[in-house]
Structure 1
Amino acid sequence: MVHMNQGQGETSYARNSAFQSAQQNRMKLLIEAAIIDLGSNTNTLLPQKVVIADLGCSTGPNALALVSIAIKAIQSYCLQLQQPSPELLVFLNDLPDNDFNMVVKSLVTLRQSKKPLVMIGVTPGSFYERLFTSSSLHLVCSSSSLQWLSKAPEVLARNHIPAYDIDEKARRERLPIVLQAYAEQFRKDFTHFLELRAKELAPGGQMVVSIIGRRFDGIASFHIWEIITQVLSVMASEGVIDKEKFNSFYMPMYGPSNEELKEIIHEEGSFSIREMLVHDFTGGINKELITPAWTANQLRAVFEQILVQHFGDLMDDFVKTSERCWSVEGRLHDELARLAMLTVSVSKA
């Protein structure tokens, strides 16, 4: 079960989601362009009813960010063309264990203005399954979510190959096998995601998504789950967590390169790419904030539930070990610099 830390406490996702918030801000221009493209596909006038879905909305202040950007873009577009605002139907989606109570309490902010009329619905479920009726959506957004896989690649567990060997020599030897297994699982999942959204989007529908990925192709590139597993491997080597449990831990997450994304989108065939951007992972965040302690809490808010389910109560030790591992000057920034935020805008072909 994957969900962010709930509530509004010190370790909650609501208070520790700065990386995700920065990425949502970088999606603004692409969402605005998608609204203009949607209008041009319908002879300048937007449909009388526009349906928007945010997939993987999570909770806290980020939950309404993307749909709020889309609503403001629609208002601006209609004002510029002096046309009536369409009625808006907004769907917020995430897995059933998401903190929807907090999301629902914040929905009133979307309905404060009577122009345009905004109706809101919550749609629990995996975005690796059908969520909406055929040809019903006009705009789909998703931020920092699609790096989560439907499951970790089963071939590794079946062959007793750890995702991250404690022994460095063994890790180097097995790395090509590990990365191929993860890449194949991502290709399967992302292809299925595109097929599902193609069925749900109306003709001319738009989709803007961001994914935590990596800058380069190849074995030497840094993968998103490494920043977690490196810390866990230290804990395992020091006896803080059981080595067998560490060897059987597979993060259901993969960070693609932009070339991988392009290739999968082209091969699936339902969408044409309007624009693809590659950003620094830490872009838009005050660099002075990015300390070992701050970063450890950001990671804790995202990964605590999945780590505790596998290892038990280890988060205080995880935070302390993270801070110690990243205390070497420049190491944390070097590791984060190898990650990237990939943003792609596509139109239904």
Structure 2
Amino acid sequence: MAEFVNAGYWLAGTDDTLPASNIDATLFTHLFVGYAQLNSDAHEVTVDPSQLILINQFSSTVKLSNPEVKTLLSIAGDTAVFATMAAEPANRDAFIKSSIAVARGGGFDGLDLQWLYPSSQDEMGNFKTLIHSWHQAVVDDATSLSLPRLLLVATVSNVPYLENNIQYPGEAINQNLDWVNILCYDFYAPTLSRSATGPSSAFHNPKVNTFSASFGIRSWAQSLHNPKKIVFGIPFHGWAWKLLSAHHHEVYAKADGEASGENIDGQIFYSDVQKFIEDNQAGVENNDKSYLIAYTYSDTTWIAYESEYTIAHKIALAKADKVLGYFAFNIAADDASNTLANAAKSNW
């Protein structure tokens, strides 16, 4: 069991921005790689052939700079495909066997299940059955190969329940997963909240408590009775809105969807936020104390993001809640100096 987790996600699709060979793996204890896919017909885990070499070389590449770093392959897919897989024993077996084979084939130390999200109590029951069988399979695999057991992680919603009182199985998670990655960001985005800006990765939210990392961490700690199973998320991307008025640029200011620019949905890398600030001599709030976010504005563009100061404060508060650690999504969004990754690691 890890003493603590300082993790980051790297996506094969961002190889042009951040090749694996340029990652400073000393900034992380764990690196997640995205994404393997769940095949909808055979219910097997596969890697896109165009990304296979990149993904299979990742572990050996990053371990050159940090031999101690653990790598995990992240499995994404349509929620309905996950639901169908988890509902039938034969489908579950196909998923489990293929996931272990793909992880071992790529030299990974673990697997990350991104079923976003089980949407009924039946599906939560199937999630429970799946992680129990998966855990038993990785134990058996480790025994047969005389190798360390693969780590098992699930990425989950910010709170341990979904609407209609649909609960994640806390006890089964405790017994079968090494930890959960909680998605405590993207609470607001211009595509979700068109008419007002929002604190997209708020640690506190005095207006809407449930849309905050602190609420998520404490809810999960209560559900699991064990904060050491919680790794909370910090986004390295921001969100850019178009303000209705250049004179009103506070959090929840009136807006008209996403700001015009390269990214049609309004998502923007931290490195590009820095460029925006510099190019526009933009106004900056580095550390809004009410929400623990940063934001910047110029004319009618308003961007919520994370700064080195917000990250330092968030990590201090999360550590006080005794969580296992944090993960960054995604590390290619950082600047060339790894400002955010350095801020996270140095404050852990």
Q: TM-score range by the shorter chain?
A: 0.3 to 0.5
Q: Which TM-score applies when normalising by structure 2?
A: 0.33
Of Structure 1 and Structure 2, the greater strand share is in 2
Q: Which TM-score applies when normalising by structure 1?
A: 0.33
Q: Which has the higher contact order (CA 8 A, sep 6+)?
A: 1
